[in-house]
């Protein structure tokens, strides 16, 4: 072998080594590079800005301490509650006389719920402008839930009355009102009705009853004039017309005060007679 051939062989070997080292480094760089990771998909709701409020369906249990009128009650903890979606004739509003079928509605409401445990279902609003809870009220009968709001309408003690946004069961209440009216139940048989359906306005009964703007005013029924006042110490005291403090006593129903139609009614619900009577 000539010297020149030996030199070429050595140079070839060196070149092969250089190429091999270069390939090894490139391979190492490829394996050490981080692989791209997929980003989590971000889900957006294109209707979020226009979503309408929906019923919460929140349910709690409570005991009815007493009824205030046909569509309003007081719970065991003192909170006042107004039934959603219905309206019964007035009996305790001092601004108007007792309305047609109002006492019957109050008595029926009392027979249904007073002293009983019930379930309360919230719609959209929690309270009304008077601070009263707004709820659908259910009786628990033999494992079944019976809605009091619907019972009052179906038996003719109340009319369907819509107050948006609390209208979850309004269509059902409207249909129950139509059925009660067609069967002449309750107030539909006893009162003259202004035919505005389905939220009809009760305008009275017989010739002695009049109406102003759809409000019932019954003049042939004794007005409840006994004032049930709650003192600063929490004592419940009733005042008869002519008592020393009667004229200066103001009744605030939002604090639990009320009007009575008789002394027996006042005494039976835990009120005592004022000492200056």
- Cβ–Cβ contacts within 10 Å for residue 192, how many? 15
Catalytic residue among 74, 82, 121, 258: 82
What span, in angstroms and rounded, lies between the C-alpha atoms of 98 and 134?
A: 24
Q: Is the dihedral of CA 239, 215, 131, 119 positive or negative?
A: positive
Catalytic residue among 74, 99, 104, 132: 132
Catalytic residue among 90, 104, 177, 253: 90
Q: Which residues contact 99 (CB under 8 A, 6 or more apart)?
A: 89, 90, 91, 202, 204, 215, 216, 217, 218
Q: Is the dihedral of CA 94, 98, 102, 106 positive or negative?
A: positive
What span, in angstroms and rounded, lies between the C-alpha atoms of 230 and 133?
A: 21
Of all helices (H) and strands (E), which one includes residue 151? helix 148-154
What span, in angstroms and rounded, lies between the C-alpha atoms of 52 and 42?
A: 23
What span, in angstroms and rounded, lies between the C-alpha atoms of 242 and 39?
A: 82
Does the active-site annotation cover 132? yes
Does the active-site annotation cover 90? yes
Closest Cα partner for 72 from 59, 81, 63, 64? 81
Q: What is the length of the chain?
A: 277
Which residues are designated catalytic? 82, 90, 132
């Amino acid at each position: 072998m000539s010297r020149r051939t030996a030199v070429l062989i050595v140079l070839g070997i060196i070149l092969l080594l250089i190429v091999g080292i270069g390939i090894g480094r490139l391979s190492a760089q490829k394996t050490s590079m981080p692989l791209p990771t997929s980003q989590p998909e971000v889900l957006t709701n294109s209707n979020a800005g226009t979503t309408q409020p929906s019923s919460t369906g929140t349910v709690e249990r409570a005991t009815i301490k007493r009824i205030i009128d046909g569509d309003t009650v007081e719970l065991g903890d003192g909170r006042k509650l107004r039934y959603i979606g219905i309206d019964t004739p007035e009996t305790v509003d001092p601004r108007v006389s007792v309305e047609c079928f109002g006492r019957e509605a109050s008595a029926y409401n009392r027979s249904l719920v007073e002293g009983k445990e019930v379930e309360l279902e919230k719609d959209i609003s929690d309270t009304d402008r008077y601070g009263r809870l707004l709820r659908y009220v259910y009786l628990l009968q033999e494992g079944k839930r019976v809605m009091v709001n619907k019972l009052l309408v179906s038996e003719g003690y109340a009319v369907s009355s819509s107050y948006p946004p609390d209208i979850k069961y309004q269509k059902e209440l409207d249909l129950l009102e139509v059925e009660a009216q067609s069967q002449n139940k309750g107030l539909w048989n006893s009162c003259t009705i202004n035919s505005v359906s389905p939220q009809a306005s009760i305008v009275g009964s017989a010739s002695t009853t009049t109406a102003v703007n759809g409000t019932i005013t019954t003049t042939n029924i004794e007005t409840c004039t006994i004032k049930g006042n709650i003192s600063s110490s929490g004592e419940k005291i009733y005042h008869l017309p002519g008592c020393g403090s009667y004229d200066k006593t103001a009744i605030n129903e939002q604090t639990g005060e009320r009007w009575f139609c008789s002394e027996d009614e006042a005494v039976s619900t835990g009120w005592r007679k004022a000492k200056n009577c």
